[in-house]
A and B are shown apart, each in its own frame.
Chain A
Amino acid sequence: MSRGVAYYILGRFLQSVMVLWIIVTLLFLLFRLAPSNPLASYIDTTFTKQQEAALLARFGLDKPLGEQYIIYLVNLLKLDLGDTFSYSGKTVLDILGADLPNTIYLTLTSLLLAYAVGVLGGIVMAAMRGSAFERIGTTFTLMTRAAPQFWVGMLLLTFFAFQWKLLPSSGIGPPMVRYRWETEWDKLMSPVFWRHMILPTFTLALYLHGLPLLLMRSNMLEVLDQDYVTMSRLAGYSEWRVMIQTAARNAMLPVLTALTLGIGYSIGGNVVIEHVFSWPGLGRTLVRAVQQADYPLAQGAFFLIAVIIVFMNFIADILYSLLDPRVGASAQAQVS
C-alpha cells in the first residue's frame, strides 16, 4: 500500500469519527429537547411526585444537561449504552445485541438474493436490449422500487399467509419452538426460522433488486460500447464469454460499491418490513423505543445504525482506493 493510500485511509477514518461525533451529539440533543417526557409511560392514577423524582434520579435525568452530555460521551466510549427505561434488568446492549443478528440475517439474505437476481437480470437485459423482455422487465423493476414496502408486504401476507396459509405471517418462529433455541446456531439450523424468513426476505429483496439491476444494465450498455469489448468480439470469442468475462466483470465494480453501502443502509432501513412482519430486529425495536419514549434504547439503536452506516461508507471508500488506483494517487498529489 502506498503512502498516499495510507494517508487517504487515515483521513477517511478521522472523517468517519467526526461524523459519528456529530451524530452522537445530535442524538443526545434531539432526545432531550423532544417534546415528550420519558416518564410518560409510567404515569398512572397512583403515580406520585415522590415516584417521579425517584425515577428521574434513577436515570440521571435530574442532572444538568452539560453533565448528562459528558457522562453520555464517556459511557459511549466504554460502549456502555446505559439501561433501558422500560425493560427490567436489561441494558440497551442486551436488547440491541439480541436484535442485531435477526436484522443481519434478514438483510444479508435479502441483499444476496437481490444482488444475484439484479446482476444477472442486468446482464440479460443489456444483452437483450430493445426486446419485449427488457421493456417488461424494466417496468416491473421500476414498479417494485416505487411500491411502498408495507404495501407489498401486506399483499404478500394476505395471499401467502392468510388466504393460502402457505407461510407463517409474523415473527421468527412460534414460542414453543423458539424457546428451545439456545444459541444463534440452533436458530440458524432450524427450518422453522427459515420458513418464517421467506416472506420478509422476499419483500425486501423485491425492493432491493432494482438498484443493482438497473445499475448493471446501464454499466453493461456502457461497457459494451468500449473498444476492448469490440476487440474480444473480433477475436472470435463466443457472445456468452464476451458478455460475462469481458463486459460483466468490468461493469460489476460500481455494483459492488452499491452493495457495501446497501448493507449499511438496509440494516438501518428495515423499519417498515420489520414492523409489518413483526420481525424482532433493530428497526422494530427502534420504533417501539420511540413510542415508549425509551431514550436510552432509541438512542442506542440510532447509534448502532449510524455506526454501521458510517463503517460501511468507510469500507466502500477503502475498497475504492484499492480497486481504483486513481483515488490513492490523487490523495497523494494533495498530500505532497
Chain B
Amino acid sequence: MSRKLISIAVLAMMMLALALPVTSQSMGEVVPPIIVHSVTQAERPIEYETTRLVVENMRELGLEVEHRAIPWAQLIDEIWYSRTEESSAADRPFQMTHWRMVGRPERSDPDEFTYNLFHSSVRDGGYNFIGYNNPEYDALAEAQRVEVADKEARLGIICEAQQVIRHDMVNAYFIHPLTPQVVNTAVFNPDSITTQAGIGVHNFWTWIGIEPTTDDKTLITSTTSFLNSFNPLEIAGDAPSRVTEMTWDRLMRINPIGVPEPWAAESVVWEDQLNVVVTLREGMKWHDGEDVQSDDAAYSFEAALAGTMQTKDGEERFQPEAPDYYPFASNVANIEIIDDLSLRFTLNTPSAAFETSSLAKLNLIPKHIWEPIINDLLTQDDADVDSIQEEIPIGSGPFKYVAFDVNEFVYLEAFEDHWARPNIDAWIMNVLPNQEATLGQIQAGEMNFLWEWPGDPGVLQSIVDDNEHLDLFSAISIGMNYFAFNVRYAPFDDVTFRQAVAHTIPQQFIIDNIFNGLAAPADSFVSAALEYWRQCDDLPTYDFSIEGARALLEGAGYSWDDDGRLHYPAG
C-alpha cells in the first residue's frame, strides 16, 4: 500500500518535473497593456458607454485594458496621425478605438466604403488608418469598381469583399444606428414623408414631397452641427451638404431605395463601358432666370477638374481648385457637347459607381457665374473654391436661397419655376447647439421637424409618448459603429486575437440597453439598409461569448499564467 503510494508520488513528481519546463517553454510574453480609445462621455454618451462595457469584457480575457476617452478632435489626431510603420511602441500608436461612419446618400453605393476603408493605397494617408494590407482584398476592391455591365457579378465581388473583411476582423462592426427623427404631424401629413434607405426621413424626397396640412407652409428644423458655407463645389459638412443638395440640382439623384435615377437629366444612356450620353430636361431655369443648358452641365464637371500644377518642396503636383469634388470627377477623360441639352462623358476607366458617385454627386452650377470665379482662382496660388461664398448662391434646385447667416440659420423658399416644385413654401434651418432647447422647441411647436438628435434616443421616445402631435420616425442608417483595430502592431496584427476580441462585444445587450432598441445589429461595412448589396451568403458570426473567445485564443497557442494574465504563444 505504502509502496504503491510512494511509487505514485514518485511518478507524480517525475511528471511534474517533466511538465514544468514544458509549460514555461510553451508560454510566450505577457500580452502588454492595451489602450482602447473613444470620445468622451459628454460628447457622445452612447459611444463612451459601449466602449466601457467592451473594455470590461476584454479584461475577462486576462488582458490589462485601459479605456481612454478623449474629445473627438483629439481622437482624430491620435488615430489619424500615428499610423506610420516606423512609429515605435514608445510613440504609443493607437491600438483599438471606437469609431463611427455616418450615412450619406452617396454612400448608398458600396464603392466608397469598399475601397476607401480598406484598400492598401489609402493606408498611409487615407481612411485605411487601421493599416489593412491584403493584396487579395485590393484585387476585389478594384474589380468591383470596374464591373460596370454586370450588376450580378459586381454583387458577387462585393459579397466576397464582405466575407474577407468579416473573417479578417479588422473592424468589429456591431450596430447600424436607427436615426430617430420627430415630425409634428399636426402640421404635416405623415403619409407624405419619405424614408430613404440608409438615410432616414430627413432627405431630399421628404423636403419636396412633404404636405403641409395648415396654412403655414413653412418647415422649420434645426441642427446642432455647423452651417459654415453654401458652396456647390465644397463639401463643408453634414448639415451644409443636406442644404446644397436642395438648392443645386444634379443630373441624377439617389432615389428612396438607394438607386441613382435621372433627375435634371431626362435620360442617361450608356453607349459602352466608357461613354455615357446625358440629355437634360427641357425648360429648366437657374434661380436668376437664365436657362440651364448642356454647357452648364459640362462646366460643372470641368470646374471640379480645374487646377494648376504647383511646385512644393521640390515636388510638382496637381492642385485642384475644388479639392472636395475633384475625386468624384477625376475619372472623366472628356466631355463633348452634342447640342443645347445633350452631352457625352467619356471615362478613363470603366466605373460601376460613376452614376452614384459622380452623376448623382456633382452639383450643377451655372457657367455664367462660376467660370469667371474659377478662372480668377486659377491665377492664384494659395486660394481654392473653399474661399468662395456667393452672397446669394444661384442654383437650379427646387429650393432657392432667400438668406443665410453662417452658423445662425438658412432660409430657403420653393423655386416656383422648378418642374418639381415642393409642396412647402419655405424651409428654415436654425443652428441650435442646446439639446434641451431643441426638445423644448419641437414640443412647443416653434420647430416642426427634428432631424438630428445626437442624445439619448430614449428621451425622444418619451417626448413622443407625451405629445399627441409628434411622431417618431426611424430608419436603419448606412452608417455604423464599430471598433477599429490597428493591424500594424501586436497583438492586433494577429487575426485570432482580433476575432477573440470580437467575441467580447455583447451586441444585443448594447442594442437593448445602450441604444434603447434604436439600433440594428451590424456585421459588415455594407449596411442592412442597402438590401441589394447584402444578398450574400451568411457572413462569419462572432457571438458574444467570453468562453468562446478564450477557447479561440487557447486554440491558437495563447495561455494564461497563475495570475490569469494572457500570454502570447511561445516562439
Contacts and interface: CB of A to CB of B under 8 A. Distances in A.
Interface of A: 35-37, 40-41, 43-54, 57-58, 83, 86-90, 95, 98, 154, 157-158, 161-162, 165, 168-171, 174-176, 178-179, 275-278, 280, 284-285, 287-288, 291-293
A28 B431 CA distance: 29
Contacts, number: 160
24 contacts: A35-B70, A36-B76, A36-B77, A40-B73, A40-B76, A41-B73, A43-B80, A44-B235, A46-B112, A46-B324, A49-B125, A49-B126, A50-B323, A88-B234, A169-B437, A169-B444, A170-B437, A176-B426, A178-B408, A179-B403, A275-B434, A276-B437, A278-B432, A292-B226
B430 A37 contact: no
A54 B319 contact: yes
B434 A45 contact: no
A284 B71 CA distance: 19
B409 A175 contact: yes
Interface stretch (B28-36, B147-155, B381-389): B381-389
A288 B403 contact: no
A80 B432 CA distance: 30
B431 A37 contact: no
Nearest to B80: A43
A89 B125 contact: no
Interface of B: 70-74, 76-78, 80-81, 101, 112-113, 116-117, 122, 124-127, 218, 226, 228-229, 231, 234-237, 312, 317, 319, 323-324, 327-328, 382-384, 386-389, 402-403, 405-411, 426, 428, 430-434, 436-437, 440-441, 443-444, 446
Given A36-B76, A89-B387, A275-B433, A52 B125 contact: yes
Contacts of A280: 405, 407-408
B430 A170 contact: yes
A158 B440 contact: yes
Given A170-B430, A288-B433, A178 B441 contact: no
Nearest to A172: B408
A293 B387 contact: no
A57 B382 CA distance: 8
A45 B113 contact: yes
B125 A36 contact: no
A55 to B, nearest CB: 8
B74 A36 contact: yes
Given A45-B113, A169-B440, 12 more contacts: A35-B74, A35-B78, A36-B71, A36-B76, A37-B76, A40-B72, A52-B125, A83-B387, A87-B389, A89-B229, A169-B444, A170-B437
Given A45-B117, A179-B403, A88 B388 contact: yes
Contacts of A83: 387
Contact of B433 (A86, A278, A293): A278
Contacts of A154: 436
Contacts of B407: 87, 280, 285, 288
A47 B126 contact: yes
Contacts of A98: 405
B372 to A, nearest CB: 15
Contacts of A36: 71, 73-74, 76-77
B91 to A, nearest CB: 14
A90 B406 contact: yes
Nearest to A94: B406
A37 to B, nearest CB: 4
A19 to B, nearest CB: 29
A244 to B, nearest CB: 43
A98 B408 CA distance: 11
Contacts of B101: 45
A83 B281 CA distance: 40
Given A158-B440, A176-B411, A88 B387 contact: yes
A37 B74 CA distance: 7
A157 B124 contact: no
Contact of A49 (B124, B312, B405, B444): B124
A45 B109 CA distance: 14
B178 to A, nearest CB: 22
Contacts of A284: 433
Contacts of A165: 444
A86 B228 contact: yes
Contacts of A174: 428
Nearest to A284: B433
Contacts of B125: 47-50, 52
B73 A278 contact: no
A46 B322 CA distance: 13
A179 B410 CA distance: 10
Given A175-B411, A275-B434, A95 B406 contact: yes
Contact of B226 (A47, A54, A86): A86
Nearest to B430: A171
Contact of B411 (A48, A54, A179): A179
A293 B72 CA distance: 10
Nearest to B81: A37
B76 A276 contact: no
A35 B73 CA distance: 8
A278 to B, nearest CB: 5
Contacts of B237: 41
Contacts of B231: 88
Contacts of B408: 171, 178, 280
A87 B406 contact: yes
A20 to B, nearest CB: 27
B440 A162 contact: yes
A292 B433 CA distance: 13
A89 B229 CA distance: 9
A89 B112 contact: no
Contacts of B443: 162
A44 B72 CA distance: 14
B428 A175 contact: yes
